[in-house]
Amino acid sequence: MTNGDSGMRTLTYRDAVREGIREAIQKNERVFLMGEDVGRYGGCFAVSKGLLEEFGPDRIRDTPLSESGFVGAGIGAALGGMRPIVEIMTVNFSLLAADQIINTAAVYLYMSGGQFNVPIVIRMATGGGRQLAAQHSRSLEGWYAHIPGIKIVSPATIEDARGMLWTALQDPDPVLIFENSGLYNMEGTLTTDAGAVDIDTARVCRAGKDITIITYSASLIKSLEAAEILAQQGIETEVIDLRTLRPLDDKTFLTSIAKTHRALIVDEGCRSGSISAEISARIMENVFYDLDAPVERLCSLEVPMPYAKHFEEAVLPQTDKIVSLVQKMVGADG
Amino acid sequence: MKTQRTGKRKAPVINHTHALHLLHGMSRIRRLEEKCAELYSATKIRGFLHLYDGEEAVAVGVLEALTGEDAVVATYREHAHALIRMGSAGTILAEMYGKQEGCSRGRGGSMHLFDEKTRFYGGNAIVAGGLPIAVGLALADKMLQRPRVTSCFFGDGAVAEGEFHESLNLASLWQLPVLFVCENNLYAMGTALKYTQAVEDLASKAASYAVDTAAVDGMDVLAVENAAKKATEAIRTSGKPFFLECRTYRFRAHSMYDPDLYRSKAEIEEWKKRCPIATFKQKMIDQGILSDSDIDTIDRDVAREIDEAVAFAEACTWEPLEDLTRFVHSERRMS
């Protein structure tokens, strides 16, 4: 809906993703969406609701529960000149297609000596926080970011949810888009003429001078909430949304740390071998002498995700934990 | 759905030119593989090396049924398919040498031969990993209304993988023009089919997905060619997939690392009596289609071709180290 004359309208993250898909299918006749329950069901998170009626079963293609089969078919279709958007219901099930993503999509261009690029976009829901327990709550985007040959993007805003898709489809190589399932109901505003956004750079979402929080996806929302609370206590937090985990835009966070001299990384992945570990290492390698305090990380605890609500909340990074960690780091914890 | 048994059929009569052509193809493969083994021992070729000796009739017979517009998706035992499809042994050997003039710029090696010009999509070395790719290539053809066939080669071992079943189901469900070619050489690396498959009739598995099938003597190039032509004609007419099982045997070990302890010498010798090249030569001579001098000429031509390919590979160059990271990502944007 449009809000008066401002050219702004309010919509959910889910609506924004759907608009991105719709626009892509309208703009390019070679774009199509396929995945489990994307058509008749309307998408497991209702992202593609109504698109089957609008575009028909060829371009909104329901697949069997064959993750490896249909991701591989997406790769083949991309090699054959199509621009597939493959939806994997959640990152947990992407493990059934990991071979095709990691051993085929990521390597085809290189091992063919530059002959066969794979312009596929794979979207999937990620993240915990909905009491879905150990098999449905993984955050593996950082784990995929280990692999050369694929790009990993993670929209945390309405604008990115809509705009990253088209840019990903323009990319000649595989792009994986991770949508945190906790964000689908998030509302926000978008200009009526909002379009594609870059997928190469991180963004400073809030400026501050005392500490830099480096984060992405659902943890960005929590970090911004924490920054608001901290501001009331006189602590000015700079918050950076990484947006893209591979290739990592180090320049934006290194520049910020050179100014704030403190860095906290908030990441829903588990700590060991995580993207937060990579970021921390790059900070040490590049701006060690700018630091006034050790780099800190707030990650998920290293347990399979429990079902019980109080347990799950304790596992995930939370706003109050960010607040207290920042207070400790800036020496304001009393 | 129907399962044809074409192996026992009377071989079609062929003319002199075509007999020369088929024998030439199989002989080129055999000579290339012999040379590869030699070059491996000489440490010119490294990594894994899987040779095709004994299975030549399959690649030659099946590829005979394809047009230049069709696609080929192959496995890590793909020198033969690459040679027949791409034409040049030089760039294939250069690839195995790791040289930049190789068909994958030295980034792939023996298991990852690629060629865009002839739509040769590898060189896929994860067993059954190529099947979904073939399904997708055919899906693109169907959506873009291009009348092309995608051929997909895989071994009997692939039939045990989930991707085989997912791919057969998808190709049948969406009615996609894929020729699935199972090169059944009876062993998944070192384990015989009877130890890995509850049902050893592989065509029956494809048939269970409502895919038409045929099983053929993979040691008989004419039978393979005939079956493959029927299969591709069926695909071009119906738009639907087809599963062709070629029953064959590899004369050498699985790879250069394999001591080949899991099968008897007697079994190997028995199969060698059915050598697709020797039996074809004999048949053609018996039928008066080829002469001894035809065969001598082919052997001489093939030996010269492969020697020249080795010389080419030797003379090729190493890509400079500065280029190591080229092609992790594309250098051009999409149109």
Three-class DSSP labels, A19-36: HHHHHHHHHCCCEEEEEC
Distance, in Å, from the CA atom of A290 to the CA atom of A262, rounded to the nearest integer, reads 8
Main-chain dihedrals φ then ψ at residue B118, nearest 5 degrees:
-105, 15
Query: What's the pLDDT tens digit per position in B126-144?
Result: 999 999 999 999 999 999 9
Interface of A with B in 187-246 (CB under 8 A): none
- List, in sequence order, every residue forming a beta bridge with A175; answer none if it has no partner: A121, A151
Contact A84, A122 (CB under 8 A): no
pLDDT tier at A192, thresholds 50, 70, 90 = confident
The 3-state secondary structure of B225-265 reads HHHHHHHHHHHHHHCCCEEEEEECCCCCCCCCCCCCCCCCH
| Predicted local distance difference test score (pLDDT) of residue B332 | 73
pLDDT tier at A184, thresholds 50, 70, 90 = very high
Is the pLDDT at B161 greater than 80? The verdict is: yes
Distance of CA A55 to the CA centre of its chain: 27
Q: What residues of chain B lie within 8 A of the CB of A100, using their CB?
A: 129, 132
B139 close contact with A: CB closer than 8 A? yes
CB pair distance less than 8 Å for B107 and A111: yes
CB pair distance less than 8 Å for B104 and A111: yes
Query: What's the pLDDT tens digit per position in B206-219?
Result: 999 999 999 999 99
A67 is catalytic: yes
Shortest Cα distance, chain B CAs vs residue A85, angstroms = 13
Structure tokens at A18: 């759907």
- List, in sequence order, every residue forming a beta bridge with A209; answer none if it has no partner: none
A87 is catalytic: no
Q: What residues of chain B lie within 8 A of the CB of A112, using their CB?
A: 104, 107-108, 112, 114, 116, 122-123
Is the pLDDT at B2 greater than 90? The verdict is: no
Average of pLDDT values for A147-152?
98
Q: Residue A256: is it exposed, middle or buried by C-beta count within 10 angstroms (0-12/13-18/19+)? A: buried
Contact A69, B169 (CB under 8 A): yes
Distance, in Å, from the CA atom of B141 to the CA atom of A82, rounded to the nearest integer, reads 9
Query: What's the pLDDT tens digit per position in A297-327?
Result: 999 999 999 999 999 999 999 999 999 999 9
Structure tokens at A227: 């920054």
The predicted model scores a pTM of 0.95
Q: Of A19, A36, A67, A296, which one is the catalytic site residue? A: A67
Nearest CB among B122, B144, B167 relative to A81 is that of: B144
Query: What's the pLDDT tens digit per position in A251-306?
Result: 999 999 999 999 999 999 999 999 999 999 999 999 999 999 999 999 999 999 99
Distance, in Å, from the CA atom of B45 to the CA atom of B54, rounded to the nearest integer, reads 21
- Write down the mean pLDDT value for chain B: 95
Query: What's the pLDDT tens digit per position in A199-211?
Result: 999 999 999 999 9
Query: What's the pLDDT tens digit per position in B91-125?
Result: 999 999 999 999 999 999 999 999 999 999 999 99
Please give the C-alpha separations between residue B315 and each of A71, B90, B320, in angstroms, as whole numbers: 41, 10, 15
Q: How many CB pairs under 8 A join A and B?
A: 154
pLDDT tier at A7, thresholds 50, 70, 90 = confident
Q: Of A19, A29, A36, A136, which one is the catalytic site residue? A: A136
Structure tokens at A155: 């929209």
Contact A268, A300 (CB under 8 A): yes
Distance, in Å, from the CA atom of A220 to the CA atom of A228, rounded to the nearest integer, reads 12
Coil/strand/helix, residue A57: coil
Interface of B with A in 114-133 (CB under 8 A): 114-116, 121-124, 126, 129, 131-133
Average of pLDDT values for B54-58?
98
Please give the C-alpha separations between residue B233 and each of A80, B148, B209, B239, in angstroms, as whole numbers: 22, 11, 20, 10
Distance, in Å, from the CA atom of B127 to the CA atom of A41, rounded to the nearest integer, reads 33
